[in-house]
Amino acid sequence: MVEHRRFGNLLPHLILLAGIIVVAFPVYLAVIASTHDNAAIANGQMPLYPGTHGLETYWHTIASGTGKTTRQPVGGMMLASLIMATGIAVGKIAISIISAYAIVFFAFPFRMAAFWTIFITLMLPVEVRIYPTYKITSDLSMLDSYSGLILPLIASATATLLFRQFFMTVPKELVEASKMDGAGPIRFFFDTLLPLSVTNIAALFVILFIYGWNQYLWPLLITTRDDMQTIVIGIKKIIDVHDALTEWSVAMATAVLAMLPPVAVVVLMQRLFVKGLIETEK
């Protein structure tokens, strides 16, 4: 339905504008706060325009962080988060695309049972199975390690389901043509299926990267070493000071920095992301 009324568009625009302000204002505030000194923020008289301490604060945050709370520069935390988020996203995609490949293209006993088993893990996020998962991770001596951060989180029913749905739309003649062309299962996977899945993979990567980046409970539980802190945990720790003044400027700068990689991923992969979710042509 396309309507052209001069004032008909006014109300929707006002609503959208209000929504944008509600979402964007806190972000704006964080950016502004990160450019003022701690005293200005703490005494409640922070102006709504940028201060003069911006560069200094960010440099300080990235390179040294706060000595009292996290004892780590935020740059290091970002690296830890980046490794974890990338590891989770790549791992989830790799595992689920292979599982979906097996479920859709191979006839083996209990194929549907396998699929439903994967499917019901949708109901078992890490928060639900936290004790057994912790126990296993601990028994395998993976506490305080990247493999411990990543591996328990990379099974993904959602991604498997998405790939399965996509694979089921691949014409079976394409599989047969590959067979006639002398391509075995591995070749078919790498030469045909993977190139066709690129947009789907990109879309999933965006979602899963952000999922990984935002992990809080699991890293909090299994990492104790300072150099394994992720940035999301870092923010919490920086704010949580006892008997001293919170370094608000550093906290805000950390929050802004924590936002950047997910934003970058979304912006860079936006086109593929949208294509991956709506594309139907094979």
Residues that bind another protein in the complex, under the rule CB under 8 A: 171, 173-174, 176-177, 179-183, 187, 191-192, 195-196, 281-282
What's the closest the beta carbon of residue 172 comes to another protein, in angstroms? 9
Amino acid making up residue 123: M
What's the closest the beta carbon of residue 280 comes to another protein, in angstroms? 12
Of the pair 23, 180, the CB lying nearest another protein is at 180
Q: Alpha carbon 271 to chain centroid distance? A: 18
Q: How many helices (H) and strands (E) would you count in the chain?
A: 15, 0
Of the pair 8, 182, the CB lying nearest another protein is at 182
How many other CB atoms sit within 10 Å of the CB of residue 12?
Answer: 9
Of the pair 121, 192, the CB lying nearest another protein is at 192
What's the closest the beta carbon of residue 195 comes to another protein, in angstroms? 4
What's the closest the beta carbon of residue 166 comes to another protein, in angstroms? 13
Q: Which three-class secondary structure state does DSSP give residue 144?
A: coil
CB of 238 closer than 8 Å to CB of 251: yes
How many whole angstroms separate alpha carbon 137 and alpha carbon 221?
Answer: 11
By the 10 Å C-beta count (0-12 exposed, 13-18 middle, 19+ buried), 230 is classed as buried
What's the closest the beta carbon of residue 107 comes to another protein, in angstroms? 11
What's the closest the beta carbon of residue 13 comes to another protein, in angstroms? 38
Of the pair 56, 191, the CB lying nearest another protein is at 191
Of the pair 183, 266, the CB lying nearest another protein is at 183
What's the closest the beta carbon of residue 2 comes to another protein, in angstroms? 29
Residue that is written with structure tokens 């591995």 in the block: 186
Of the pair 54, 185, the CB lying nearest another protein is at 185
Residue that is written with structure tokens 């009292």 in the block: 68
Of the pair 23, 278, the CB lying nearest another protein is at 278
Q: Extract long-range pairs of 256-259: CB within 8 Å, 24+ residues apart.
A: 256/30, 256/31, 256/34, 257/58, 257/61, 257/62, 257/74, 257/78, 257/231, 258/78, 258/81, 258/213, 258/231, 258/232, 258/234, 259/27
What's the closest the beta carbon of residue 192 comes to another protein, in angstroms? 6
Of the pair 5, 172, the CB lying nearest another protein is at 172
CB of 121 closer than 8 Å to CB of 158: no
Amino acid making up residue 136: I
